[in-house]
Chains A and B, each alone.
Chain A
Amino acid sequence: MTRGSVVAAGTGLVLGLLALGPALAPGFTLAYDMVFVPHPVFDRETFGLAGMLPRHVPSDAVVTTLAQVAPADLVQKTILLAILVIACASAAALVPSERLTARLAGGVVYAWNPFVAERLLLGQWALLLGYAALPWVVRAAARGEPRRLVLALVPAAIGGFAAMAVSGLVVLVIGLHRPRPAGRSVGVGRSGVKRLPWSLGALLVMSLPWLVPSVARFSGVPADPAGVAAFAARADTPFGALGSLLLLGGGWNAETVPPGYGAAVTAVPWLCVVLLALVAYACRGRAAGTGGLGVAALAGLVLASLGAVMPGLLRWAIGLWPGFAVLRDGQQYVAPLAVVVAVGAGLVVDRVAGRRPELAALALLVPVALLPGLAWGAGGRLAAVRYPADWSRARAVVTAEPGDVLVLPWEAYRTYAWNGGRRVLDPLPRLLPGRVILNDAVRVGTGGRRDLRMAVEDPRARALDPLVRSGAPLTGALRARGVRYVAVDAPEEFAAWAGRLPGAERVVAGPDLVLYRIPGATRSRETPISQWPIAIAWFTTFAALVWSIRLPVGSLFALSSKEP
């Protein structure tokens, strides 16, 4: 690693410390999709063989592996900091300039912007892992070097489905791009035609851990076009949904907009920064040797806007083939645009630094000054907490006498008082061993109108759905269906569910969780998915990783070709 890349990584670390703040205290940060638990264990859910759709594969498996050698909360903090470090370093490496300030400007813009803020607050650390390494992917794809591409894809591969979808878009477009022979592009390793199969092969191999269980379970996935309205991009600035996407924001969830973001006083200057960066990239971006990145950014913007501009088309496509649901939460596809903006910002600062170096240094602060709401865990929205003692007791009981667990209330997300009222996907499926049945149908509020409710995806939860919603006593029916425990983790509903569990034995009764044991329940008769295809998939990906690692990891940090 060069001095420049070390400084860029250090800058990313400072930004990470600034952004996470209270989330770095001892304990776990639980926010929306960000769920980490103490002492995670491997089970069938970890590999996508049961339970929810394998969106958490292989990220959960990697976390579980790391948690065998370090405390899980430390693993979480390390991953979150690594995202900012990699983002800053990878983007800085892509800026075609000899000036460190120009490279750092690109890195800071890439690590500190509305995309990072909104996705971080939404708890999508796995997607952000892929986002962070996207500049590496861009360069590796442009060079047409399969070994480097596999290595660059590792963070996205760890992130799984969403991260690989975004990286895949970039790899595909750049793979199709034909470099100009007379250009200064570094994408001269292979022609566009030759490198595409290699790029697609690398994508496929690195996607196998989540792709194989997805295919194995695909027939049971309901096509649910309702998600288009729920997850379409929305305006979080005065410039409408499209303008907000252009500014790298526009996420679907109004609750994850950082404090203070979107007001004209900051949105207008940020718009100027983005436009200036885009102009700089259009004029001098070729020097970065990222042929096709501009097209990928444009394609990403189009995909991101589909749900907001042409929801009917997207609903029709999902009805035709449920796999198109990957486009529902379209805002994630503005990630390639963020790379363009970062490189462009670096080019602008490069120009400024030639005349006024001190002004260029101050320009590094612009992203932070225009988005101060991300600082300090977005004003406390990200903060570490400890799991209640009741949860540990419930885990001990289920570990001692294993059995399937039903989680109530019959909803996916919670706002626990012990978590400061922050929303989070119920952590019990990750905390308790064995098969844990949770209603994975998410509900999205619409600010006054009727909530949007998605379909249940877990087949076991789908089978139990009518029973749980019926209002009838549950004990006998759950016993017949092989459910041994019922965990109720919302104190405000303890009394209501107790009335529906006559004869169930209360084995844990605390202020935050009640665990019932259903006498006489037998093991479930769930049809298991074969483990062999999953094992072969993991082996293949791991073998590709070992093959790629012959290339020094530090080479990813190497700076791009410099401008004359």
Chain B
Amino acid sequence: MRIAVAMLAGIVLALLTSFGVVRVITTSQQDPVVKPLYNYGTR
């Protein structure tokens, strides 16, 4: 039971932390529009 509660609490914490961190990172970045337009990607 203790493990289950710890897991549940952990998942909620992970959700909140991840969401917060990613929001902070992404709001400080531009949209991922990269030129040139037709590349598969960039090394």
Give residues in A with beta carbon < 8 Å to B: 14, 18, 32, 100-101, 104, 122, 230, 234, 252-256, 259-260, 357-358, 360-362, 364-365, 368-369, 372-376, 378-381, 409, 411-415, 420-423, 442-447, 451-452, 490, 492
Among B14, B32, B34, B39, point to the contact of A365 (Cβ < 8 A): B14
The contact sample of 26 A-B pairs, CB cut-off 8 A, is: A18-B15, A18-B18, A100-B3, A101-B7, A104-B7, A253-B41, A357-B3, A358-B3, A358-B6, A360-B3, A361-B3, A365-B14, A368-B18, A369-B14, A372-B18, A372-B21, A376-B19, A379-B22, A414-B37, A420-B32, A422-B32, A423-B34, A444-B40, A445-B36, A446-B42, A490-B37
Given contacts A18-B18, A411-B38, 13 further A-B contacts (CB under 8 A): A14-B11, A18-B15, A32-B41, A252-B43, A253-B40, A253-B41, A368-B14, A372-B17, A373-B22, A379-B23, A415-B34, A442-B40, A452-B43
Given the complex, which residues of A lie within 8 Å of B41, measured CB to CB? 32, 122, 252-256, 423, 444-445
A380→B26 contact, CB < 8 A: yes
* Closest residue of B by beta carbon distance from A452: B43
Among B10, B25, B36, B42, point to the contact of A373 (Cβ < 8 A): B25
A318: min CB distance to chain B, Å: 18
Give residues in B with beta carbon < 8 Å to A: 2-3, 6-7, 10-11, 13-15, 17-19, 21-23, 25-26, 29, 31-34, 36-43
Among A252, A259, A365, A411, point to the contact of B10 (Cβ < 8 A): A365
A146 to B26, CA, bound (A): 47
A376 to B21, CA, bound (A): 10
Query: Contacts A411-B38, A414-B37, A420-B31; is A357 near B2 (CB within 8 Å)?
Result: yes
A362→B10 contact, CB < 8 A: yes
A379→B25 contact, CB < 8 A: yes
* Closest residue of A by beta carbon distance from B30: A421
* Closest residue of B by beta carbon distance from A416: B37
A253 to B15, CA, bound (A): 27
B42: min CB distance to chain A, Å: 4
Among B3, B32, B40, point to the contact of A421 (Cβ < 8 A): B32
Given the complex, which residues of B lie within 8 Å of A374, measured CB to CB? 18
A365→B40 contact, CB < 8 A: no
* Closest residue of A by beta carbon distance from B31: A421
A5: min CB distance to chain B, Å: 16
A422 to B41, CA, bound (A): 11
A259→B33 contact, CB < 8 A: no
Given the complex, which residues of B lie within 8 Å of A378, measured CB to CB? 22
B3: min CB distance to chain A, Å: 5
Among A361, A413, A446, point to the contact of B43 (Cβ < 8 A): A446
B22→A364 contact, CB < 8 A: no
* Closest residue of B by beta carbon distance from A252: B43
Query: Contacts A358-B2, A358-B6, A421-B33; is A259 near B43 (CB within 8 Å)?
Result: no
A350 to B14, CA, bound (A): 21
Among B10, B15, B21, B39, point to the contact of A443 (Cβ < 8 A): B39
Given the complex, which residues of B lie within 8 Å of A122, measured CB to CB? 41
A362 to B7, CA, bound (A): 7
Query: Contacts A259-B29, A380-B26; is A414 near B3 (CB within 8 Å)?
Result: no
Among B6, B33, B43, point to the contact of A445 (Cβ < 8 A): B43
* Closest residue of A by beta carbon distance from B37: A415
A412→B40 contact, CB < 8 A: yes
A314 to B3, CA, bound (A): 49
Given the complex, which residues of A lie within 8 Å of B25, measured CB to CB? 259-260, 373, 379
B38→A376 contact, CB < 8 A: no
A6 to B41, CA, bound (A): 38
* Closest residue of B by beta carbon distance from A378: B22
Which of A252, A375, A412: most chain B CB closer than 10 A?
Answer: A375
A260 to B26, CA, bound (A): 10
A376→B36 contact, CB < 8 A: no
Given the complex, which residues of B lie within 8 Å of A369, measured CB to CB? 14, 17
A442 to B40, CA, bound (A): 6
* Closest residue of B by beta carbon distance from A441: B40
B21: min CB distance to chain A, Å: 4
A423→B26 contact, CB < 8 A: no
Query: Contacts A254-B43, A421-B32; is A361 near B38 (CB within 8 Å)?
Result: no
A8: min CB distance to chain B, Å: 12
Give 9 closest A-B pairs by Cβ, nearest first. Answer: A421-B33, A375-B18, A411-B38, A253-B41, A445-B42, A361-B6, A379-B26, A442-B40, A379-B22
A157 to B37, CA, bound (A): 33
Among A254, A260, A409, A442, point to the contact of B42 (Cβ < 8 A): A254
A412→B43 contact, CB < 8 A: no
A413→B38 contact, CB < 8 A: yes
A165 to B25, CA, bound (A): 36
* Closest residue of B by beta carbon distance from A451: B39
A447→B38 contact, CB < 8 A: no
Query: Contacts A260-B25, A375-B19, A379-B26; is A423 near B31 (CB within 8 Å)?
Result: no
Which of A369, A414, A446: most chain B CB closer than 10 A?
Answer: A369
A366: min CB distance to chain B, Å: 10
A173 to B4, CA, bound (A): 38
B33: min CB distance to chain A, Å: 3
* Closest residue of B by beta carbon distance from A232: B43
B37: min CB distance to chain A, Å: 5
